[in-house]
A and B are shown apart, each in its own frame.
Chain A
Amino acid sequence: MWDSILAALPLLFSPAVLLAMAGGTTIGVLIGALPGLSATMGIAVLIPLTFTMQPLVALGMMAGIYNGAMYGGAIPAILLRIPGTPAGIATVFDGHPMAQKGQGLEAMKIALTSSAIGGSVSALALLFLSPPLAAMALKFGPVEIFWLAIFGLAAIAVLLSDAPIKGLISACIGLVIGMVGIDSMTGNERFTFDVMELMGGIDILVLLTGLYAIPPALTLAQEALLLGRGGLGSSGRTRSGIGWRRLLPTWGRASIIGVVVGIIPGTGGNIAAMLSWNETRRVAKDKSRFGKGAPEGVAAAECANNADNAASLIPALTLGIPGSSVSAVILGGLLVHGMLPGPELFTRSAPVTYGFILAMLVTSVMLFVIGRLGARLFINVMYMPPLLLAPIIIALTTIGVYAINNSLFDVWLMLAFGVMGWGMERLGIPLAPAVLAVILGPVAESSLRRAMLIGHHQMGYLFSSTIAIVMVTLIVLTILVPLVRRLLAHYRGRPSKLALAADPERARRHMES
């Protein structure tokens, strides 16, 4: 591992990669600061642009966007009480009251420092936990890979949505999209309808850009969120006199929560932040300060949502199972640059892989510097007119997708996926299971076919190893989670912390009540 890290360092600190990381971090903060836009959308828009870049330049930029956007979401959360990203909801609880007390800039400093610390811890977790996990994945045969892919799909489909049926519908749609094209094992066409452009299947980038970049643009134009400058009046310079040292235990706790939550598929920064904020309040001597401008509340939320970042890539890089929509998009980015997730990533592509992991660490440090230097600029970005921004996003995605294969068909397909994604969002159908299914579907299908060939078409072969049985047990437990959650909520008469964390709007209403 150390050899690979040493080999990655010269690549990482080359001028092009450093510039890409700094640019990506800045763009990430700008995207996060704009309510309605997220890290997923930012990376989805920019992946086509990175198509011709060197892999580490492209991945360094993605790392920067990811870390930057997670912090950027805190800016409108603190100053305007509007979380820039879903993960910023817990930051609102104490960040905005601090701004109302005239401590807005101080809250932003706490958020920035906490984000940088959380991001760094998360990157270190990715660096040290991934190689052993990848080595373990070497023991996986077709049976285990099949069940692993099914587990990843079940976890995302069931845990990500309040209504598991909608999550499963989304996963099925993704599986169908993933099957379009010529079947690689038999050479037969599936769902191509004699359209030449569909023979090679649907490019994952076209799908990612369509589903994650077009709906936010349509929503921006539709809702035309016009933010008044009045809300900024409370960003003042009143000092609360908080000691940074007092935040150390909060950062420690939040980092652990963020990393653990990040590794679990189907969770995300919003859940990490909510759990961390709740835990910090639970252990505090004076609980009444929380929700009224406690600096520890801001630190807990921001540190945890950034600690989730790199950790959520652990299952994606090692097992090829993206645990969240952002990691699915980053996985798409890796695939575009010819890097196949799994153990090979840590052997054949070791310098670039370790370079990317270190880029997650370096961009966390860069975030601190860029966030301090550009605070005023980032505040002003919140007021960019959405009616102008929306056409720009559409234009950028159009040329980006066209440039991949010089295909206008891809652009039309992207627009169609965009409208479909917008509709799915309106109907409460999560997008992530569809994307994950496109990635995992072919993996599951080819593994199943190989397993059946090896096992002479005996179904029992699918349950022949301990790992397979553990996986099947996990799948059953995952599917039962919503039922248990509903029963518990019914028994308690109130929603669980996890349910609140998964639904930011509900959490805000619950907090206010």
Chain B
Amino acid sequence: MRQATLETGVALAGAVLSGWGLWHALSFTRDSAYLPTAVMGLLTLLLLVWGIRSAWALRQAGSDTLRFAPGHARRFLTLLATSIAMIAIAPSLGFATTFLLFVPLSGWLLGYRQGKWLVVTAILFSLLIYLIFQIVLDRPLPPEMALRLVTGS
């Protein structure tokens, strides 16, 4: 895929979204609407200009081609997916406990194969997080599942 194709698509989709934002901003009461209307209007215009310029570049032969190295997209999506899962379960398991699973699992899925370092790093990192946030900073975080399992309480 060419860079210009991607830019044209993003710019036009953005212009539609921004246009909807402009319509939404028009519903604000008068004094609160000036700046949102002006900004959304300008944004829509800029996105349209960008889209037209990118579409024009598509017609030229010199537009850059997007190259995805093998594994790039897979690693990106893997980290994104594990991050989403981590954020979703952290309130139930506790942050340090979740990191104890998230760091080695993500590292492994991303392709890091030194098992010993994965485990050691995860334990040290989780301990450090627990010490900093629970003991030193005394932040009210969700209770730690690992701690409950170890202490039995």
Contacts and interface: CB of A to CB of B under 8 A. Distances in A.
A87 B79 CA distance: 28
Nearest to A50: B137
Interface in A389-405: 390-392, 394-396, 398-399, 402-403
Interface stretch (A165-173, A284-292, A479-487): A165-173
A408 B53 CA distance: 40
B40 A176 contact: yes
Q: Is the interface of A mostly helix, strand, loop or mixed?
A: helix
Contacts, number: 150
Contacts of A166: 50
Nearest to B24: A191
B118 A176 contact: no
A496 B50 CA distance: 24
Interface in B110-153: 110-112, 114, 117-118, 121, 125, 129, 132-133, 137-141
User: Max chain A CB contacts within 10 Å: which of B14, B35, B76, B117?
Assistant: B35
A388 B107 contact: yes
A395 B32 contact: no
A52 B102 contact: no
Contacts of B95: 395, 398-399, 402
Contacts of A185: 31-32
B58 to A, nearest CB: 15
A221 B79 CA distance: 7
A390 to B, nearest CB: 6
A441 B35 CA distance: 9
B87 A398 contact: yes
Contact of A176 (B31, B43, B80, B133): B43
B79 A190 contact: no
User: Max chain A CB contacts within 10 Å: which of B53, B80, B111?
Assistant: B80
Contacts of B106: 390-391, 394
Contacts of A474: none
Interface residues of A, number: 48
A14 interface: no
B39 A221 contact: no
B112 A385 contact: yes
B2 interface: no
A221 B29 contact: no
Contacts of A427: 6-7, 10
Given A172-B43, A221-B79, A385-B112, A165 B141 contact: no
Interface of A: 49, 52, 165-166, 168-169, 172-173, 175-176, 179, 183, 185-186, 188, 190-191, 217-218, 221-224, 385, 387-388, 390-392, 394-396, 398-399, 402-403, 406, 408, 411-412, 415, 419, 423, 427, 441, 445, 448-449
Given A388-B118, A391-B83, A398-B95, 16 more contacts: A168-B46, A169-B46, A172-B42, A179-B35, A186-B29, A190-B25, A190-B36, A217-B79, A221-B110, A222-B79, A394-B79, A395-B95, A395-B125, A399-B95, A399-B99, A402-B95
